[in-house]
Copies of this chain bind each other. A is one copy, B any other.
Amino acid sequence: WRSRGKLQIFHYQILKWVLALLVGLIVGLIGFFNNIAVENIAGFKLLLTTNLMLQNRYKAAFLWFISCNAMLAAAAAALCAYFGPAAAGSGIPEVKAYLNGVDAPSILAPSTLFVKIVGSIFGVSAGFVLGKEGPMVHTGACVASFLGQGGSRKYGFTWNWLRWRSALLWRTFSTTAVAAMVLRSLIEYCRSGNCGLFGKGGLIMFDVSSQVTSYTTMDLAAVVLLAIVGGLLGALFNFLLNRILRVYSYINEKGAPYKIILTVVISLVTSCCSFGLPWLTACTPCPPELAASGHCPTIGRSGNFKNFRCPPGQYNAMASLFLNTNDDAIRNLFSGGTESEFGVPMLLAFFTAVYSLGLVTYGVAVPSGLFIPVILSGASFGRLLGKLLGALTGLDTGLFALLGAASFLGGTMRMTVSVCVILLELTNDLLLLPLIMLVLLVSKTVADCFNKGVYEQMVRMKGLPYLEAHAEPCMRSLVAGDVVSAPLIAFSSVESVGTVVDTLRRTGHNGFPVIEDAPFAPEPELCGLVLRSHLLVLLRAKTFTADRVKTGAAEVFRKLAPFDFAKPGSGKGLTVDDLDLTEEEMAMYVDLHPIANRSPYTVVENMSLAKAAVLFRQLGLRHMCVVPRTPGRPPVVGILTRHDFMPGYIRGLFPNVLRE
């Protein structure tokens, strides 16, 4: 920065904005493409099934339905298993860990992006109980990372959902706005009928009746009861999901074919449920006013009243929910003023089915979001409770469904503010804010008594070194020097090329302290920190000297531009084996001063580990130097990295500390 002119800074600013807008545009386009593909594939599948049913060819319809689902599931699983294993699952834990500073390979690779988009379309179309929101967030992060050439900016994005990161907040805001505007204008275009089977299913926007301005004590008691039970069920969901994922990981580790088989099995179970439960459900007569206007039963298009083996003038309530895309099912559950559409036994059956299917579906090798299953089961639970308490409260069952969804989201995800913003976006009614906040507060508090949020659980299960905002209590009784892992590998400020290359080959460390020693300093002192990637670039430029002298920065930057040290856009960048050094060159010396970070953050070895962890996490460091307390020892005691702050690692070093 110091060496750049105003014009360059201006260019850089413009570039940042253009990039942000471009990310918004592309994510908006992908979101639209995703929606339209799902609506067309799933719509075609459902339309043909319904047509076969109308001809009373039930067996054919069932076979068509089940095989269609299985094929789509197998395709999604095959894509995932062979091309992008990192694309399985929601992607939110990975993005969360990435934003926390974990740069695991392949999280944001282009192959992951491709599989995420296509696999998500197949997975949702296959009728699984899973959502496309988590994958969309991951997709957005991949796009941003791809455009930004390796991770300078990333935007988690789903429908208007803002990730509140203070520094990036404003740019994120406008990116999101662009994506939302692109999506909306395209949907507007499609409304005119240009996009095949694309109905109103693009953006979930629910019309919850909200003209309730005052609540009785009874209403509030019912809502609190709902929130408590929702929190309990959410915590149970997390617990069971954790167990199931452990079992699945054994199966998935056996290889790609096992992944596909597991996926197809779950698909068959889902299809049987979707088709079988409506089969067992009795028909309900249409409300007379709707039957007269031809709105009931609805045939061949998405709607509230599916005719499924029912005589004319009657509808199958279960089919309205199950033989539909998940978005339509949620809309049906949330719709107000339809007290009598779904009965208690039917809602109980649906809730049980969706809750279980959501649990067994998440772990399969398909890009799968958790929002939709949680909202679906929460909404059916809320509606069920609303029906049961109906006599006591004056609240609409649609509102109960919404609050039930809120309680489940609060109970599983625990991201209360984000969830609240999302629910407000979905309902577009700020007057519901107090009730939603109350429900989220209660359900989160109840669930927090039992276990952690579902995403934290997954981050932990995947072994990603996620740094918590608060230090573990055990860290208070330890000091920074306790967890330093010996032995320390350091370089002299002017080091022989052979030593550097050997060290790089021998260890996998990414940062090395540089010690200034004789003849450059009277006593050894800490000069700075060099990164592996910078060392490799410097070695490739071959600015070596025969004697142990400083070359200075000018010499190095005659051959290399600052940009050469930037992180490469894709792949792993240079490795030691890419270097092509002769024996002679190996015996020469290289000056590390020009590439050393001369102001590394340091802590004294007797600094409380908890305080060191706060420093490490707040400043977003990758390496931290531990310096000795007393003089007369080497100037660096060790280097702390992210892994040194993991509770698991500390527990291994000091088995007794963590038990206290």
Given A173-B417, A188-B213, A631-B523, does the pair A2, B476 have CB atoms closer than 8 Å? Answer: yes
Contact of A631 among B184, B433, B477, B632 (CB under 8 A): B632
Contact of A430 among B213, B425, B441, B619 (CB under 8 A): B425
Given A177-B437, A416-B170, does the pair A602, B599 have CB atoms closer than 8 Å? Answer: no
Point out the residues of chain B lying under 8 angstroms from A293, CB to CB: none
Contact of A1 among B160, B173, B181, B473 (CB under 8 A): B473
Q: At the interface, yes or no: A525 with Cβ under 8 Å from chain B?
A: yes
On whether the beta carbons of B630 and A619 are closer than 8 Å, the reply is no
On whether the beta carbons of B167 and A469 are closer than 8 Å, the reply is yes
Smallest CB separation, A97 vs chain B (Å): 18
On whether the beta carbons of A525 and B630 are closer than 8 Å, the reply is yes
Contact of A619 among B420, B615, B631 (CB under 8 A): B615
Q: At the interface, yes or no: A431 with Cβ under 8 Å from chain B?
A: yes
Interface residues of A in 593-614 (CB under 8 A from B): 598-599, 601-604, 606-608, 611, 614
Interface residues of A in 625-641 (CB under 8 A from B): 627, 629-632
Q: At the interface, yes or no: A582 with Cβ under 8 Å from chain B?
A: no
Interface residues of A in 375-419 (CB under 8 A from B): 416-417
On whether the beta carbons of A174 and B599 are closer than 8 Å, the reply is no
Closest to A470 in B: B167
Smallest CB separation, A112 vs chain B (Å): 29
Point out the residues of chain B lying under 8 angstroms from A217, CB to CB: none
Q: At the interface, yes or no: A310 with Cβ under 8 Å from chain B?
A: no
Smallest CB separation, A459 vs chain B (Å): 18
Given A166-B166, A618-B618, does the pair A416, B525 have CB atoms closer than 8 Å? Answer: no
Interface residues of A in 181-219 (CB under 8 A from B): 181, 184-185, 188, 213-214
Smallest CB separation, A173 vs chain B (Å): 6
Cα distance A477–B430 when bound, in Å? 50
Smallest CB separation, A409 vs chain B (Å): 14
Q: At the interface, yes or no: A180 with Cβ under 8 Å from chain B?
A: yes
On whether the beta carbons of B604 and A602 are closer than 8 Å, the reply is yes
Closest to A172 in B: B417
Seed contacts A170-B417, A173-B420, A598-B606; 9 additional CB < 8 Å A-B pairs: A2-B473, A164-B164, A180-B433, A181-B434, A425-B430, A428-B430, A523-B631, A598-B608, A619-B619
| A interface residues, Cβ below 8 angstroms from B | 1-2, 160, 164, 166-167, 169-170, 173-174, 177, 180-181, 184-185, 188, 213-214, 416-417, 420, 424-425, 428-431, 433-434, 437-438, 441, 469, 473, 476-477, 479, 523, 525-526, 598-599, 601-604, 606-608, 611, 614-615, 618-619, 627, 629-632
Q: Can you show 16 pairs from A to B with CB atoms below 8 A apart?
A: A160-B433, A164-B164, A173-B417, A173-B437, A174-B437, A185-B214, A188-B214, A428-B429, A525-B629, A525-B630, A526-B629, A598-B608, A602-B604, A604-B627, A618-B619, A619-B619
Closest CB pairs A-B (n = 8)? A631-B631, A599-B608, A177-B437, A618-B618, A599-B607, A428-B430, A599-B611, A181-B434
